[in-house]
Structure 1
């Protein structure tokens, strides 16, 4: 079988126990303390990648991405300081993990496990070329190395389990940062957050945009979760 056949071919659904166990593990990780702080770097990479992708799609000039050890990040682009393009760019970050998780859940439900892993690798490579600090480069390289090793070296069973864990983590991991954002806003520690930037751009209050982030994250988790557990509870 050629690499192309394997890439676009269909792999068997993961066993029901793998789907459920990885879902539970991802949920525990997102609800944890220090383990979540470390794993949150992955969510930050996707968050900033979402800003960057939408900035390019709406015609802004992407200057670069910076990732920090405290799991924060900044994406800088040039263009109009207001208007629909800037609004879409500001909105994209917090919903990116959930929406990418939803897309990957669709691939997993379709049996495209190999394609899922390589799509993730390609997305990381696209982010890597825009990173502008050493910590960010190391974070993306470390994440990408894990993906490449799993994709090239491990068995199909391990790849299926890793794919399940990754998708669950993106779905669940897209919800907690929105809650953390509102907690920071309530304490007055996030005056220049994406929600507050959107408030200044649109006139709608920042809490409205936090609620929109929540709706997208929860909706993606619900739909993606149903797709993932379908083999466990077939109709």
Structure 2
């Protein structure tokens, strides 16, 4: 059992602020996050993290609007599916469908806000908790393996890594979500333009709301670009003077 001092240390580690990371680390992790999204071979693998956030967004909005979550599937090709029960129309279904494509970017903004307060360990532990909660609702083997591996990596970094490594990992992950929230919107519209994905989130929204699917694609893009701007400011804004002096 943990002693009182051990519990106090654990509490301080979780809720205390970590040392300020170097300004150059913020810049380098931004470049790393951008490259992970821009380089196709890396993106094919890293996109799984965006899919996890995407399906988690569907699930969270479904629960918040009173729908019953039936299960989540994560596939090897980085696609996913979240099933919920409730009215097939109305605000609950609309918000559930909206939640997917904007979730990675919104998670990125939340992460940027926590990092802006130097709550690096809290961010990593929160990620582990959310992955475990999502794991309960996974309904296929690949999804279970994907979440376990992702959660294990985050936990090991949060528990065993040095503060510098934790900072680099957390900043790179948040930058990746901010950049990674934008690319799937363009990929979605490209596939829609080729006549594929006729049952995509914006197409379902169009059938429910009688508003063109292209409008909803635009909503996704505006929200995610705004999130990128806000998150980028939170991550890099306080370090711009230091970066200018360094460069």
TM-score (norm 2): 0.93
- Which residue does the alignment assign to 1:8? 15
Q: Give 1:142-181 correspondences, 5 Å limit.
A: 142-181=149-188
1:78-112: CA deviation from partner (whole Å, max 9, x where unpaired): 00000000000000000000001001100000111
What is the deviation of 1:6? Answer: 1.2
- Which residue does the alignment assign to 2:206? 199
Q: Secondary structure at the match of 2:238?
A: coil
1:158-213: CA deviation from partner (whole Å, max 9, x where unpaired): 00110100100000000000110000100011100001010011011001000000
Q: Does 1:56 align with 2:63?
A: yes
- Which residue does the alignment assign to 2:39? 32
Match 1:112 to one of 105, 114, 119: 119
What is the deviation of 1:74? Answer: 0.3
Q: Secondary structure at the match of 1:75?
A: strand
Whose Rg is larger?
Answer: 2
Match 1:221 to one of 200, 223, 228: 228
Runs (5+) with no aligned partner, structure 2: 1-7, 243-247
Q: Distance in 2 between matches of 1:205 and 1:142?
A: 39
Q: Distance in 2 between matches of 1:102 and 1:14?
A: 18
Q: Distance in 2 between matches of 1:176 and 1:151?
A: 28
Residues 30, 176 of structure 1: 8 Å contact kept: yes
Q: Give 1:96-135 correspondences, 5 Å limit.
A: 96-135=103-142
1:20-41: CA deviation from partner (whole Å, max 9, x where unpaired): 0010011011001111010000
Runs (5+) with no aligned partner, structure 1: none
Aligned residues: 235
Q: Does 1:141 align with 2:180?
A: no
TM-score (norm 1): 0.98
What is the deviation of 1:13? Answer: 2.1
Q: Secondary structure at the match of 2:114?
A: helix
Q: Secondary structure at the match of 1:2?
A: helix
- Which residue does the alignment assign to 1:86? 93
What is the deviation of 1:4? Answer: 1.1
